[in-house]
Amino acid sequence: MHLKHCLAVAAWVGLSWVSGSAMAQNVTSTSGAAAAAPAQAVSTKGSENAAPAAVLSTHDKATPDSVRAAFRERFPGIEVSSVERTKFPGLFEIRIGMDFVYTDAQVDYILQGALIDAKSRRDLTAERVDELTRVAFTDLPLELAVKQVKGDGSRQMAVFEDPNCGYCKRLHQTLKDIDNTTVYTFLFPILSPDSSTKARNIWCAKDQAATWRAWMIDGKTPPEAQCDTPVETVLALGRKLMVQGTPAIIFADGSRVNGALPLDALKKKLDAL
């Protein structure tokens, strides 16, 4: 497969360039659900006249380590998680957290966007995100989550949620029409200090699930309560799993979705488990 079979579309990575030497991250979704935008190719040389042939001629000599070093030289202070060769000659994948950009062997150009295999129409960037974010559901510490059983509870999903997250509340409206599912909610207060207070009051309530539903669906403020909570442990878990926003849904098959799925999409996913 050659580079001409690869198209870059949908610049969902959301990286921007600051002062020509730093990269700011602004990621709203890693699920591929963000609105598509044209991909961007940025020259790091300040010139658009470099010969593309030079990229291919140095590809075989370049290594992930050499590309990492070149990237570090051009963008000091940006922490690179990994550098991998792609199957396309002359193109390397650079991962920064859960964001991806692509570059040539000398880091003369940065391509920002999703990588599409034009033959199969596969979104290779989305596949890499799915691969890296897949979670072994049985390894989740479900005892640290608020448990709600709907119907026979035969299907399972876990959700990282902030009590003040509007999209999380939208998800709960959708869940009202979902049956035969056990929902584990990891209270993940990241939006404000008030989120932490509500998370504590919900966790310490006599009936966690009822208190949680009353707040998320009916807007009934959880009463003040005190106890030891697993909030810090859950926050650490979220960082480990690279949860970057709420709601973050993990299904029993290990797949993940960021955001509040509409009813039809959620039903389809649960039916496939």
Do 207 and 109 share a structural domain?
A: no
Residue by residue, pLDDT tens for the chain (273 residues) are 433 333 333 333 333 333 333 333 322 233 333 333 445 666 666 544 444 444 445 556 899 999 999 999 999 999 999 999 998 889 999 999 888 999 999 999 999 999 999 999 999 999 998 888 899 999 999 999 999 999 999 999 999 999 999 999 999 999 999 999 999 999 999 999 999 999 999 999 999 999 999 999 999 999 999 999 999 999 999 999 989 899 999 999 999 999 999 999 999 999 998
Query: Taking the mean position of all CA atoms in its chain, how far away is CA 117?
Result: 21
Final residue of a domain: which of 82, 104, 133?
A: 133
Name 92's bridge partners. Answer: 85, 103
Q: What is the pLDDT of residue 6?
A: 36
Q: What is the pLDDT of residue 244?
A: 87
Do 227 and 126 share a structural domain?
A: no
Final residue of a domain: which of 118, 133, 148?
A: 133
Do 129 and 67 share a structural domain?
A: yes
Do 111 and 18 share a structural domain?
A: yes
Indicate whether this model's pTM tops 0.75: no
Q: How many domains does the chain have?
A: 2
Q: What is the pLDDT of residue 61?
A: 84
Q: What is the pLDDT of residue 21?
A: 33
Contact 98, 105 (CB under 8 A): no
Range of the domain at 224: 137-271
Residue 212 belongs to a domain with what CATH number? 3.40.30.10
Do 104 and 162 share a structural domain?
A: no
Contact 8, 41 (CB under 8 A): yes
Do 144 and 71 share a structural domain?
A: no
Q: What is the pLDDT of residue 60?
A: 65
Supply the DSSP string of 221-245, one letter for each residue.
Answer: PPPP------HHHHHHHHHHTT--S
Do 108 and 83 share a structural domain?
A: yes
Final residue of a domain: which of 86, 116, 133?
A: 133
Q: What is the pLDDT of residue 39?
A: 57
Of 151, 171, 174, 152, give the one whose Cα is nearest residue 163: 171
Do 144 and 22 share a structural domain?
A: no
